[in-house]
Amino acid sequence: MEHIAFLPIGPEIVALAGAVIVLMSAVALNLGRREWGVIAGVTLLASAILSVLQWLRLDSLEVGRQLAFSSSVSGNPDLYFHPMVVMDKFSAFAGVLVYLVAFLALVGSWKLVATFGKHGAEYVALVLLAAAGMHMMAISSNLILLFMGLETASIALYIIAGFARGERNSDESALKYFLLGSFASAIFLYGIALVYAGTGSVSIYGSGTAASGTGSIRQFFATEPVAVMDVGVLLAGIGLIIVGLGFKVSAAPFHQWAPDVYQGAASGSVALMSAGVKVASITAMVRVLMAAFPTRIDDWAPILAVISVLSIVIGTIGAIGQRDLKRLLAYSGVAHAGFMLTAFVAGPVAIPNILFYLTTYVIQLVGAFTIVAVVSGVRSGASRISDYKGMFARSPRLAMTLAIFLLGMAGIPFFSGFIGKVAVFGSAIGAGYTWLVIIALIAAVAGLFFYLRVIVVMFFEPAADAPGTATAEPQLTGGAAFVVYLTAGLTLLFGVVPWLLLNLLQYTV
Amino acid sequence: MDSFPVLALMVLVPTAAAIVVALIPKSRSELVFPMALTLSFLPLALVGYVVWEFETGAPGYQFTQQVLWYEPWGVSWNVGVDGISLLLLALTAVLFPLSIAASKSIDKNQKMYMVAMLLLETGMLGVFVALDLILFFVFFEITLVPMYLLIGIWGSGNRIYAAVKFFIYTALGSALMLTGIIWMGVLTGTFDFTQILDASLTANQQAWLFLGFGVAFAVKVPIFPFHTWLPDAHTEAPTAGSVLLAGVLLKLGTYGFIRFNLTLFPDAAVRFAPWLAGLAVVGIIYGAAVAIVQPDVKRLVAYSSVSHLGFIILGIFAMTSQGLTGGVIQMVNHGLSTGALFLLIGMIYERRHTRQISDYGGVAKVMPIFAGLFLLSVFASAGLPGLNGFIGEFKILLGSYLRFPVAAVLGASGVILAAIYLLWAYERVFTGPVNGEDNKKLLDLDTREVLIMAPLVVLILFLGLYPKPALDRIEPAVAEVLDRIEAVTDYEVPQFGFQDDLAGGGE
């Protein structure tokens, strides 16, 4: 290559540079919160715009170079940096999603930064670092780089979870997240090692064209006869990678950290922690399973089906008994991870449907957690459902928008969640996993209960006398109002005219 | 046919009305009831227009409108009316203003109640016109949440338990149906009902799809043994909730059986028909037997619904012209007579706040108008000739005798049992000496209450004496369903010699 192409890693470069500038500006230039906010906001939006530019640039390439998930090895994606990253529409879309989620999460709970005083700059920088790491997971064409992205994002989030120093909940949350998370990272790394032992490569696509590429994982599966493959080691490797990523997705039975971490962390930081990580880990899982191991789908699809059922059932049952809205959303997130995993069994054709579900779900999630931060206070850990009693009378806008997010997650028609469910379940049924869909839909019905319970509390029950930790008359103002109205609007928009997004996503396969 | 989208308007007007009612400020809350009542006449007017303009005997669907919604999935806004849905639309549109009028005494959050009622009407009207499976499912589900709220918030005593039970049963059924709908979409590449008709499904696929849809509808109907939610929901629901549950919501199930199970999966329908007929007979006798011993008059009527809906299912799965026609007309009849009974029970409950039969006695002496109307409804429900119930039950028994003689004979005992439990209950409540001071002070029906009952009485008499207009509209639609079954399977519809002479019924 004659010149270095910066576009494929442009969003990361910008985000990392923004993080450094924010840190430096706080130390050397003595800039205030307003300036950090402008720098961080501009940085994240610029990264998102660069991702859009990637998408537009790919439009000018011939179709063959966009097909990073074709099951034949003749797919010839755009690879860069000997080949560490891949630029395809999938990674470009993941970039738009990650940076916008980070942007909205930061804007929605900007008040949180104020509570950290002069340490606020560190918090803002960590958010930018986490976003860069998350996107790196989606663009990696090499398992080692994927691991580095995962660690960059995770370590930043461990610190964010514990950033409300002095609050005992926050310390507990960070320590739990760190111990369990690093354990999962180690498992993931071990999985990479076993895959390397089995295939002789850690590169997904190899260098240059995949067909003539040297020693990539895809190359290995395409050329080696089945008998030669050291199947045991390889399958163990794939299994461990699924476990490691399953932890990050918070799929059962690797989900126990999620409720505690969400509940303990400052409410203002949970939107990024939940939505951003979901985007990064689901896209990474798609990349690894469908680009590196598509020919072993018969081996990993049943594993994913089982994980999916466990997540859906455990997440739903777990959510029913919760009295804390953050814990409820954490458990429902476990179930939603399961819903998304149902479509994986269909292989690469399901990618648009998975991405649609992912997009609509994280939009609802960011909106819901922004409201939690408004009602319970950005720094607070607890967020009791009883605090929401009579919310409709006290603050009708908050009650209405939270109801929109909850109905969206519940999969009620006219909200984006319904279309998402039809999409992923359609993929699963098409792949012959009807039993999986039946279980998932029954759980979705059971899920209506806990979502409806919150809505009933908000609309029909009189306000409690002692509002506890919550603000008595929470008001939706400033950045939070912008985020909540935008996400609520998108939830309705994609529920009524889903093709705006679905048609776009058809190009990501 | 002009292109005026009357069905879309009809379905959306109640939603618009709900928004209008929701926007009434708290300071003018006295407007909520008159506003909701007035607006509920708009869909009735539109349904009246559809009934008036409906071309009797024309093949296929009328007033059709199709707007593509998302092409790759083949989902569209696709609506139309045939003779079967026409009558159910009319029933729905008539029952809603009456139910709202009967809800004047609701004082707890009245605005929310009216909004829920009007949204419920959108769902119910939508179900009967939808010709797209996803659209049908959406409307089918829309009915669930308002009904859940009506029972759970404005119900009596054990309302939360009843609401949750109702919700779990019906939602689990819908989950299986949605699986079936998505599967069918994957198999055929479209959700358009009229296009799916042309797709050929294997016998095995049909059997599974039949069961998936069947469970959802069987819970709604309800067919024995899926009926246990019904007595609780009917008993605890507010009066309007019971009327609409019995009058319309249960018909969603029987309508679904005809529209989807018989039409889309004819092979499976022929295969499973004896089983469903058998369950129907069990339901007829079991429901009637349990109704006899109920001490609570509302619960008694609830169990009578299990029995009556058993008749309808028997008629449908006899798969004869007479049986199906009888089943459809009986859906309307049951809605009218049971709706009338629930309204009357609601009226006396407002006065005495008890539904126990033993608390009453000799009521006919203090409330003669009430007693007269109650007796008429009881006779209609028991199928007395000259009233609407007779023609439906007669046709069902005739039609099912052609196919399942034993089931018809056993089912006929349900007619006798119905007379026993209804008349015995009437005897205990209305005849004899007036017992207790409370009963002596009972006031007879006022003008509003008589006006609520009047349309139902008129329709009960009209359909009983002159059912021909209704039958003329049902029969071509039924014939189309049966023709299709005969065309694609080797099933032959049993014929009956002098069928035409009987079509006029009690004329």
Model confidence pLDDT, tens digit, residues B285-342: 999 999 999 888 889 999 999 999 999 999 999 888 888 999 999 999 999 999 999 9
For residue A410, give both structure tokens: 């519940």
CA distance A274 to B36: 43
Question: Is residue A2, in this structure, part of any structural domain at all?
Answer: no
Question: Is residue B433, in this structure, part of any structural domain at all?
Answer: yes
How many domains, chain A?
A: 1
Q: SS3 for A273?
A: helix
Tell me the pTM: 0.85
What pLDDT score does A359 carry? 95
pLDDT tens readout for residues B216-244: 999 988 888 888 888 888 888 888 888 99
The answer to whether B70 contacts A498, with C-beta atoms less than 8 Å apart, is: yes
Mean pLDDT within B458-475: 88
Question: Is residue A147, in this structure, part of any structural domain at all?
Answer: yes
Q: Any chain A CB within 8 A of the CB of B167?
A: yes
What pLDDT score does A405 carry? 94
Contact (CB, 8 A) for A327 and A250: no
How many domains, chain B?
A: 1
Mean pLDDT within B41-68: 85
Task: Tell me the chain B residues in contact with residue A425 when contact means C-beta distances shorter than 8 Å.
Answer: 178-179, 182
Task: Tell me the chain A residues in contact with residue B174 when contact means C-beta distances shorter than 8 Å.
Answer: 445
**What are the φ and ψ backbone dihedral angles of A498, each rounded to 5 degrees?**
-65, -20
Task: Tell me the chain A residues in contact with residue B167 when contact means C-beta distances shorter than 8 Å.
Answer: 448-449
Contact (CB, 8 A) for A144 and A81: no
Contact (CB, 8 A) for B334 and B246: yes
pLDDT at B1 over 50: no
Question: Is residue A324, in this structure, part of any structural domain at all?
Answer: yes
The answer to whether B183 contacts A438, with C-beta atoms less than 8 Å apart, is: no
Residue A159 vs residues A171, A377, A503, B14, B287: alpha-carbon distances, Å: 10, 20, 38, 53, 64
pLDDT tens readout for residues A404-456: 999 999 888 888 988 899 899 989 988 888 889 889 988 888 888 889 888 88
Question: Is residue B133, in this structure, part of any structural domain at all?
Answer: no
Task: Tell me the chain B residues in contact with residue A448 when contact means C-beta distances shorter than 8 Å.
Answer: 167, 171
CA distance B419 to B379: 8
Q: Which residue has the tokens 């009047």?
A: B454
What pLDDT score does A154 carry? 93
The answer to whether A445 contacts B141, with C-beta atoms less than 8 Å apart, is: no
Question: Is residue A1, in this structure, part of any structural domain at all?
Answer: no
What pLDDT score does A358 carry? 95
The answer to whether B175 contacts A438, with C-beta atoms less than 8 Å apart, is: yes
For residue A227, give both structure tokens: 């008998």
The answer to whether B182 contacts A437, with C-beta atoms less than 8 Å apart, is: yes
Amino acid identity, residue B285? Answer: I
The whole domain housing A461 covers: 9-508
Query: Which of B152, B153, B179 faces A437 most closely, judged by CB atoms?
Result: B179
Query: Which of B71, B168, B175 faces A444 most closely, judged by CB atoms?
Result: B175
The answer to whether A438 contacts B141, with C-beta atoms less than 8 Å apart, is: no
Task: Tell me the chain B residues in contact with residue A504 when contact means C-beta distances shorter than 8 Å.
Answer: none
Contact (CB, 8 A) for A397 and A387: no
The answer to whether A441 contacts B175, with C-beta atoms less than 8 Å apart, is: yes
Give the residue from chain B lying closest to A422, CA to CA: B182
Question: Is residue A269, in this structure, part of any structural domain at all?
Answer: yes
What pLDDT score does A306 carry? 94
Q: Any chain B CB within 8 A of the CB of A425?
A: yes
List of residues 6+ apart from B364 with CB closer than 8 A: B371, B430, B431
Task: Tell me the chain A residues in contact with residue B15 when contact means C-beta distances shorter than 8 Å.
Answer: none
ipTM for this model: 0.77
Q: SS3 for A30?
A: coil
Task: Tell me the chain A residues in contact with residue B73 when contact means C-beta distances shorter than 8 Å.
Answer: 422, 426
Distance to chain B for A445, nearest Cα, Å: 6
Give the residue from chain B lying closest to A452, CA to CA: B145
Question: Is residue B296, in this structure, part of any structural domain at all?
Answer: yes
Contact (CB, 8 A) for B189 and B74: yes
Question: Is residue A59, in this structure, part of any structural domain at all?
Answer: yes
Strand duo B62-70 + B75-81: pairing: antiparallel
Query: Which of B141, B182, B186 faces A413 most closely, judged by CB atoms?
Result: B141
Query: Which of B112, B145, B183 faces A429 most closely, judged by CB atoms?
Result: B183
Q: Any chain A CB within 8 A of the CB of B72?
A: yes
Question: Is residue B33, in this structure, part of any structural domain at all?
Answer: no
Helix (H) or strand (E) holding B81: strand B75-81
The answer to whether B179 contacts A498, with C-beta atoms less than 8 Å apart, is: no
User: How many beta-carbon pairs under 8 angstroms link A with B?
Assistant: 58
Confidence at B201, pLDDT banded by 50, 70, 90: confident
Distance to chain A for B145, nearest Cα, Å: 9
pLDDT at B385 over 90: no
What pLDDT score does B506 carry? 42
Q: Any chain B CB within 8 A of the CB of A67?
A: no
Best to test chain B binding among A339, A435, A438 (most B CBs inside 10 Å)? A438
What pLDDT score does A211 carry? 43
Question: Is residue B294, in this structure, part of any structural domain at all?
Answer: yes
CA distance B128 to B328: 13
Residue B241 vs residues B100, B147, B294: alpha-carbon distances, Å: 10, 7, 20
Task: Tell me the chain B residues in contact with residue A441 when contact means C-beta distances shorter than 8 Å.
Answer: 175-176, 178-179
Q: Any chain B CB within 8 A of the CB of A222?
A: no
Residue pLDDT tens, chain A, 509 long? 446 678 888 899 999 999 999 988 888 887 778 888 889 999 999 999 999 998 888 877 765 555 566 555 555 567 776 678 888 888 899 999 999 999 999 998 888 888 888 888 889 999 999 999 999 998 888 899 999 999 999 999 999 988 887 777 888 889 999 999 999 999 999 999 998 888 888 888 765 444 444 567 777 777 766 655 667 888 899 999 999 999 999 998 888 899 989 988 888 889 999 999 999 999 999 989 888 888 788 888 999 999 999 999 999 999 988 889 999 999 999 999 999 999 999 988 899 999 999 999 999 999 999 999 888 887 777 788 888 888 887 888 888 899 999 999 988 888 898 889 989 998 998 888 888 988 998 888 888 888 988 888 887 777 765 555 455 677 788 888 999 999 999 999 998 888 888 888 888 77
What pLDDT score does A470 carry? 53
Considering only residues 432 to 461 of chain A, which have any Cβ-Cβ distance to chain B shorter than 8 Å?
434, 437-438, 441-442, 444-445, 448-449, 452, 456, 459-460
CA distance A52 to B197: 44
The answer to whether B72 contacts A429, with C-beta atoms less than 8 Å apart, is: no
Mean pLDDT within B72-84: 84
What pLDDT score does B505 carry? 45
The answer to whether B138 contacts A502, with C-beta atoms less than 8 Å apart, is: no
Question: Is residue B164, in this structure, part of any structural domain at all?
Answer: no
What pLDDT score does B386 carry? 83
